[in-house]
Amino acid sequence: MLLRAAVATADDTVERAQEILAQRCVVCHACYDAPCQLKLEAHEGLARGASKTLVYDSTRLLAGDLTRLFDDAHSPEEWRAKGFFPVLDGERPERGVLRQMLELKQANPLPATGALPRGFDFDLHREQQCPEPGEFKDFARQYPLWGMPYGLPGLQAEEHEALTRWLDAGAPPPPIEPLPAALADEVVAWERFLNAPGNKPRLMARYIYEHLFLATLYLVDGDNPHWFRLVRASTAPGQPIDVIATRRPFDDPGRSDFYYRLQRMPIVVATKSHQPYRFDRARRDWYENLFLRPEYEVSALPGYDADTAGNPFVSFASIPVRARYRFLLEDAEFTIMNFIKGPVCRGQIALNVIEDRFWVMFMDPDALDPELDGPFLERESHNLRLPSATTGSVIDLLDWHRYARAHKRYMQAKDKHLQHQYDQQGRKPGLELVWDGDGSNPNAALTIFRHVDTASVVKGFVGDIPKTAWVITYSLLERIHYLLVANFDVFGAVSHQLESRLYMDFLRMEGELNLLLFLPADERRRLWRFWYRDAPDAVRKHQFIRSEAIELESPLDYQSDDPKAEFLGWMRQRIHGAAAAQFDYRRSASPAMIAAFDRLVAARGAHNRFLPAVSFINVIGGKRDEAYTLLHDAGYSNIAQLFREEERRLPDEDAVTVVAGILGSHPNQFFQIHEKQVPLFVEDILRLSSEEDMALLRYRYGVRRNSPWFWTVSDRFHDLQRRQDPLAAGVLDYNRYHGY
C-alpha cells in the first residue's frame, strides 16, 4: 500500500511539473526561436540544454550547423559536442541553471505596479544572455530581475514548490502511454502502405513525404489525439526508428533501402508550429484512389541529383497533375500553413513580401485539362526551377538573375498558353474556373494575415474586402511549397534567405495577376498601379501587364464601379465556407458591442498605427466570458521592396479587423474588458494620436507584463482557445508580447 502511494505521488509530481512547464515556460521556450535554443515542448529539449548560438542569424554568411531536436543528435553527450550546455544538474539539482533561474525570479520579483524597470530587452534580435552553470553567479549579479519567466510574473508558491520537487527528483520525463491496440494497428497499416513495393507506390510515398514532413500527424482514440510525424529512417517497420536526418526533405537519403516511418512525438503542442493533419483509414483510402488506382506508368523513379530533387515538376512528372493538385487542395489551409508556420515564418525580411491581410482562392482542378497542362508544365519544368543554395555562401546570390530570367520565360509561355485556351477553346476566366470547394470543402477560401514578422492563415474570407487577393493555380501552389517550405533552410546563409524572399515576389505577383484576369480589362492596369505605388519600374511594368492576355476582356457582367469588390463579393457568396461565420463577432457580441466594433472596423486611419499587430480581448461581465482578436492591418504603398519598409508606410490607410475567438499564435497585447466598457474602449482607440495615448489605453484596459493577474488571463485565453478548436489549440507564444 505504501509503495503504491509513493508511485502515485511520483506520478502526480511529474504530471504537475509538466502542466507548469507548458503553461509558464513553453510560452517562450518552443520552436526555433526559443531563447538560447532551450526548447521545452519536449523532455528531450530539457535534457539537451541550451546554446549560445542563434538559429535565426541575419549575419550568417555560411550555412550553420543543424541543431534540430529529435534529428541532429540523440543524446546529451552528442548535444554537448554541438555546443549545448546542461540546464539540469543530476548530482546537485540546486546548481542547475533552470533551477537557479527560477530561484532568481522568486528572490527578485517584478514590481506589481507601474512600468517595468529599465534594462529589459524584448526585441527578437536582442543580444541573448545564455549563462552556463559556471557563469550564473555573474549573470545573477548583473541581471537580478532577469529570472524565469523572463519579464513576466514569477511562479506562484505552489507552482514553484511543485517544479522544485520535480527537479530535486531528477526531472524525470513524463511517461509515454502505450498506443491503444487499434491505433498501433493503424500505424502498422500506414507504414505498410507507404513502403509498398513498386515504382508507383514508391513515387507516391516520396510525394507525400516531401509535402507532409512538417505536419503534426494525428491518430485519434476517442477524443484523445496522438501526435506523430512522417520521417525517413534506415530501419524497417517493426524496428526502433533510426531517423535519416537530411538538411532538406528532398536531399539524397544516402542509401537505397530506406523506409517511411511514423514517429510518435511526445510533445507539448505549441500553436506557432502546430500543423495538425488527420492520418486515418479514410485518408489512406483517399490516397489510394487519388494516386494508385488511376492508370499511369512510372517507368523509372527520379533520382536525388541537383537537376531533379527540389523541382517537383521533374521529380513527379509521372503523377497526373490533377492528382497532385487535388492532394494540395483537399487541405489547402494546411498546405499554406506550412509556409506560415514553418521555419520561414520567423523574421520580417521573410514576411514583408505579403500584405497584412489578403484573401486566397484557387483555380478549379476540374476546369483544367491534365492532358494539356501536364505536358505544358513538363515542358516548362526547367523554367520553374526554384532557388536552392548550393554553396551556402553569398556566391549563391550571384545566381539570382538566372532564376529571374527563367521565371520571365515561364510567364511568357503561360501568356501564350492562356491565349491558346482563349482562342482555340473559347475558355475565358468565368466564375466556374474558381474552385468552390466542391460544395462541401471549406479549404476553398482562405485569409492570410501578416503580423509584422509572423503570420496566420484561416479558412474563410475574414474581414472587409481586402486590398489584394490571390488566385492560386497548381504550379503556383507547388512552387510556394518548394520555395518556402521544402527548400527553405532556417540554418542557411543569409544569401539563401534573401533569394527565397526575392523569388517570392514573383509568386505573389503571379497570384495577384491571376485575380486581375477575372476583372474588366480596363481595370487591370489601374489596380496594378495602385497596388505598386512607388515600386520599381520592373514591377509596375511587369511583362504580364504588357502582354496580350491582359487585354482580353472578361466575360463577367460587372455592374458597379468597384469590380474587384464586386468579384470578391460574388466569391464570398459562391465558395463553400467563405463567409467565415465562425469569426464573425456579430454572432456572439451584444448589440452595443456590435455597434462599437462596427465603428472600429469602419474607421480606417492613422489612429490605428499605434495598435500592436495582434491583440486578444477577453470580454467579461455577467455570464459573458469571450475572446475576440483585434488585428492591425498596416497600409503600404507597395510591398515589392526588400528594405526601407517604414518609408513605404501609409498610416492613413491603416485598418483593423475584429474577429470572434482567438486568431494568431503570437499575441502582442492582452486586454480584459467588461462588456459595458467595450464602447468606451473603442472610443479611446478612435482617439489615439500618440504613443502616450496608447500607453494610457494599456493602463486602462490592458494586462501588463508585470500585472499580478497576467497568468490568470493567460490561462483564460488558453482555455477559450481549446474550446474554440481542440485539435488546433496549443500553447501560445509570448516572445512578442508588449504590455510594458
H-helix or E-strand spanning residue 229: strand 224-233
- On the question of pLDDT at 5 being above 50, the answer is no
The Cα–Cα gap between 641 and 539 comes to: 10
Q: Domain ends where: 168, 201, 218?
A: 168
* C-alpha separations of 307 from 250, 288, 350 in Å: 12, 29, 26
Reported as a pLDDT band with limits 50, 70 and 90, residue 424 is low
Residues pairing with 359 in the sheet: 447, 469
Determine the pLDDT at residue 505.
84
More confident site: 132 or 390: 132
Mean pLDDT of the chain: 89
Mind listing the pLDDT tens digit for each residue in 695-727? 999 999 999 999 999 999 999 999 999 999 999
Q: What is the dihedral of CA 668, 674, 678, 683, to 10 degrees?
A: -80
**What CATH number is attached to the domain comprising 681?**
3.30.1050
225 prior amide bond cis, ω within 30: no
Are residues 533 and 405 located together in one domain of the fold?
yes
Is 48 part of any domain? yes
Determine the pLDDT at residue 61.
64
C-alpha cell at position 392? 551556402
Determine the pLDDT at residue 507.
87
The Cα–Cα gap between 210 and 194 comes to: 13
Are residues 200 and 159 located together in one domain of the fold?
no
Q: Domain ends where: 133, 168, 203?
A: 168
Q: Quick one: what percent of the chain has pLDDT higher than 90?
A: 71
Are residues 157 and 254 located together in one domain of the fold?
no
Reported as a pLDDT band with limits 50, 70 and 90, residue 89 is very high
The Cα–Cα gap between 588 and 584 comes to: 8
Q: Which residue segment(s) compose the domain that 604 sits in?
A: 584-724
CA pseudo-torsion sign 546, 552, 553, 556: negative
Is 541 part of any domain? yes
* Sequence-ordered list of residues with C-beta below 8 angstroms from that of 132, at least 6 positions apart, any chain: 85, 97
Give this prediction's pTM. 0.93
Name the DSSP class of 630.
Answer: E
Mean pLDDT on 99-105:
97
| Whether 147 contacts 102, CB under 8 Å | yes
| Whether 730 contacts 664, CB under 8 Å | no
Ranking 208-212, 464-468, 510-514, 674-678 by mean pLDDT, the lowest is 510-514
Q: Domain ends where: 531, 551, 571?
A: 551
Are residues 302 and 390 located together in one domain of the fold?
yes
Are residues 515 and 589 located together in one domain of the fold?
no
Are residues 528 and 603 located together in one domain of the fold?
no
Mind listing the pLDDT tens digit for each residue in 586-607? 999 999 999 999 999 999 999 9
Name the DSSP class of 258.
Answer: -
| Whether 638 contacts 650, CB under 8 Å | no
C-alpha cell at position 244? 535519416
Determine the pLDDT at residue 539.
75
Determine the pLDDT at residue 425.
57
Are residues 257 and 358 located together in one domain of the fold?
yes
Count of domains observed in the chain: 3
Determine the pLDDT at residue 7.
43
Is 264 part of any domain? yes
Reported as a pLDDT band with limits 50, 70 and 90, residue 389 is low
Is 429 part of any domain? yes
| Whether 241 contacts 263, CB under 8 Å | yes
Q: Quick one: what percent of the chain has pLDDT higher than 70?
A: 90
Determine the pLDDT at residue 640.
85
Reported as a pLDDT band with limits 50, 70 and 90, residue 552 is confident
More confident site: 424 or 631: 631
More confident site: 556 or 377: 556
Determine the pLDDT at residue 373.
65
Determine the pLDDT at residue 240.
96
Closest among 488, 473, 480, 490 to 336, alpha carbons compared: 480
Are residues 60 and 103 located together in one domain of the fold?
yes
Question: Measured at the alpha carbon of residue 452, what is the angle toward residues 448 and 454, in degrees to the nearest 5?
Answer: 60
Residues pairing with 363 in the sheet: 434
Are residues 348 and 401 located together in one domain of the fold?
yes
Are residues 533 and 662 located together in one domain of the fold?
no
Determine the pLDDT at residue 349.
52
The Cα–Cα gap between 163 and 168 comes to: 9
The Cα–Cα gap between 457 and 663 comes to: 9
| Whether 183 contacts 225, CB under 8 Å | no
Mind listing the pLDDT tens digit for each residue in 277-290? 999 999 999 999 99
Is 492 part of any domain? yes
- On the question of pLDDT at 301 being above 90, the answer is yes
- On the question of pLDDT at 674 being above 50, the answer is yes
Are residues 187 and 146 located together in one domain of the fold?
no
Question: Measured at the alpha carbon of residue 482, what is the angle toward residues 478 and 488, in degrees to the nearest 5?
Answer: 155
Determine the pLDDT at residue 500.
75
Are residues 667 and 629 located together in one domain of the fold?
yes
C-alpha cell at position 242? 533510426
Determine the pLDDT at residue 409.
75
Determine the pLDDT at residue 10.
66
Mind listing the pLDDT tens digit for each residue in 6-61? 444 667 889 999 999 999 999 999 988 899 999 999 999 999 999 999 887 767 76
Alpha carbon of residue 564 to chain centroid: 28
Is 733 part of any domain? no
Is 47 part of any domain? yes
Determine the pLDDT at residue 3.
36
Is 173 part of any domain? no
Determine the pLDDT at residue 658.
98
Mind listing the pLDDT tens digit for each residue in 60-88? 767 788 999 999 999 999 999 999 999 99
Residues pairing with 669 in the sheet: 615
| Whether 15 contacts 174, CB under 8 Å | yes
